[in-house]
């Protein structure tokens, strides 16, 4: 095993690991405790809250994570219910917002009201969605359900909704026609205060503070004031970012959508396969930095690389068109050998060498602590490519964190201490990591 990965799993304390069976039992209990269903204005919704107190609504990519966890639990019918609920409010043009408010008048934070289209202010007492999107993981989630159930009827049921959604993204967020989608707010990445966005926001103080908060709130207010007119927002170029993780997930899901079309006998398969290839090629062309051996987010209409080492610098190595020498170079530089990501509990959300790095609990998340998401995302790829020891090390790290601190939103990369939301469902992805080796 490479030195970095060996170091990253040595800790000075003794942790009694939960068994795989105990983890499965606790994950099942967690998801069902957080699950909610009901009726509202003619809608029958059914979803899982990421955390009952902190995140009580239905969130877009969180629902996809729940599908992966539910299928790992063998709860396939429940996974289908979650997918159906996610698309209940889909607009005629295909759009689905990143938060679905079913029975709540106001967002969790009053400032989140700026994430709504102005017309939605008239619907606060009725089911409504935000004007923002989130990483488009949904085709992969539906593909996972099909892989486990072979339910072609479900694929045919979901396919028109999926096609409309991905067509909306293609029409409205691929501003340059390069196959790369832009986000218009840090919240759209799902990694709210990601440090690579600091230069775009004009924040140069390193560790997050109230000034960063004000800059993001000002951006949200401007987007709201402009009615989320996407072409106008693109022209003004206040925050047009092509996020590495967002676009990697987009490329993967376009291919998943092509696969689903083939399953359903839909002739559109070649369209989505072609778009997937275009996106993969553009990620390689515009985001890769050969000297740094990293994939970087891009800023503005000029698509300038944001050379800040967040944990998403690894993500595109999972794509099929990335040459082996590049994927190996990225992994060797940043993950397998002592570097900014070599910590006792990997993978930290930000390199320890970055000025913004903060390992502790903070309102300004994704700037240092470890999230299970990163280990989950890389784990299957490492397994498939024969990096079995490295994959096992990532899984062991997650097991240690959960055994020590329970299902928390994120963890201290040096101590494994849990921070943020309690009873947080994302950390249940550990079960999908455990069971991943048992399925193709």
Can you give the CATH number for the domain in which 219 is found? 1.50.10.10
Main-chain phi, psi angles of 99, to 5 degrees: -130, 130
Of residues 122, 300, 134, 121, the one with CA closest to residue 224:
121
In a domain, 415, yes or no: no
Length of the chain: 440
Predicted local distance difference test score (pLDDT) of residue 108: 66
Predicted local distance difference test score (pLDDT) of residue 6: 37
Domain that holds residue 9: 3-408+421-436
Surface-to-core class of residue 14, CB atoms within 10 Å of its CB (0-12 exposed, 13-18 middle, 19+ buried): exposed
Helix (H, G, I), strand (E, B) or coil at 342: coil
Predicted local distance difference test score (pLDDT) of residue 112: 82
In a domain, 124, yes or no: yes
In a domain, 285, yes or no: yes
Instruction: List average pLDDT for each run of 10 residues in the chain, which is 440 residues long.
Output: 41 81 98 96 94 94 98 98 98 97 74 82 83 98 98 98 98 98 98 97 94 96 96 97 98 98 98 98 98 98 97 97 96 93 97 97 97 97 95 97 98 98 97 75
**Strand pairing category for 288-289 and 241-242:** unpaired
In a domain, 350, yes or no: yes
In a domain, 414, yes or no: no
How far is it, in rounded angstroms, from Cα 245 to Cα 295?
Answer: 10
Q: How far is CA 53 from CA 41, 331, 421, 433, in A?
A: 24, 37, 8, 26
pTM of the model: 0.95
Count of the separate structural domains present in the chain: 1
Predicted local distance difference test score (pLDDT) of residue 437: 54
In a domain, 304, yes or no: yes
In a domain, 416, yes or no: no
Q: How far is CA 427 from CA 85, 345, 369, 370, in A?
A: 22, 14, 13, 11
Buried b (16+ CB within 10 A) or exposed e, 368-397: bbbbbbbbbbbbbbbbebebeebbbbbbeb
Predicted local distance difference test score (pLDDT) of residue 436: 81
In a domain, 413, yes or no: no
Helices marked H in 193-268: 198-201, 210-225, 230-236, 244-264
How far is it, in rounded angstroms, from Cα 4 to Cα 7?
Answer: 5
First-to-final CA distance of the chain: 24
378, two tokens: 């890389």
Helix (H, G, I), strand (E, B) or coil at 39: strand
**Strand pairing category for 99-101 and 58-59:** antiparallel
79 within 8 A of 71, measured Cβ to Cβ: yes
């Amino acid at each position: 095993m490479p030195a970095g990965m060996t170091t990253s799993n040595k800790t000075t304390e003794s942790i009694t690991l939960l068994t795989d069976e105990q983890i499965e039992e606790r994950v099942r209990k967690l998801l069902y405790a957080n699950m909610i269903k009901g009726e509202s204005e003619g809608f029958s919704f059914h979803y899982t809250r990421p955390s009952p107190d902190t995140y009580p609504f239905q969130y877009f990519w969180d629902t996809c994570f729940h599908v992966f966890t539910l299928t790992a639990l063998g709860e396939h019918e429940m996974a289908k219910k979650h997918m159906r609920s996610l698309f209940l409010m889909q607009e005629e043009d295909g759009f689905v917002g990143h938060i679905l408010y079913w029975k709540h008048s106001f967002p969790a934070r009053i400032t989140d009201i700026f994430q709504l289209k102005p017309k939605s202010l008239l619907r606060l007492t009725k089911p409504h969605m935000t004007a923002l999107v989130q990483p488009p993981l949904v085709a992969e989630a539906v593909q996972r359900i099909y892989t486990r159930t072979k339910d072609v009827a479900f694929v045919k049921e979901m396919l028109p909704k999926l096609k409309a959604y991905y067509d909306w993204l293609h029409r409205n967020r691929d501003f340059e026609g390069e196959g790369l989608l832009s986000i218009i707010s840090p919240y759209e990445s799902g990694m709210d205060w990601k440090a690579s966005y600091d230069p775009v926001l004009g924040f140069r103080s390193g560790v997050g503070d109230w000034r960063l908060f004000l800059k993001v709130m000002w951006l949200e207010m401007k987007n709201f004031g402009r009615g989320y007119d996407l072409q106008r927002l693109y022209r003004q170029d206040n925050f047009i970012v092509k996020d590495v993780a967002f676009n990697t997930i987009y490329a993967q899901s376009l291919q998943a959508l092509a696969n689903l079309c083939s399953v359903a006998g839909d002739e559109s398969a070649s369209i989505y396969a072609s778009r997937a290839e275009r996106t993969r090629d553009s990620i390689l062309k515009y985001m890769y930095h050969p000297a740094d051996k990293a994939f970087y987010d891009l800023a503005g209409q000029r698509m300038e690389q944001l050379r800040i080492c967040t944990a998403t610098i690894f993500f595109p190595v999972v794509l099929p068109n990335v040459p082996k020498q590049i994927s190996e170079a990225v992994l060797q530089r940043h993950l397998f050998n002592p570097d900014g990501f070599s910590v006792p509990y990997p993978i930290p959300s930000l390199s320890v060498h970055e000025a913004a790095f903060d390992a502790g609990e903070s309102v300004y998340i994704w700037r240092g602590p470890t999230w299970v998401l990163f280990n989950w995302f890389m784990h299957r790829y490492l397994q498939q490519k024969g990096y079995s020891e490295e994959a096992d090390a990532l899984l062991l790290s997650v097991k240690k964190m959960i055994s020590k601190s329970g299902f928390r939103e994120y963890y201290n990369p040096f101590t494994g201490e849990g921070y943020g939301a309690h009873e947080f469902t994302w950390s249940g992805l550990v079960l999908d990591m455990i069971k991943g080796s048992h399925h193709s």
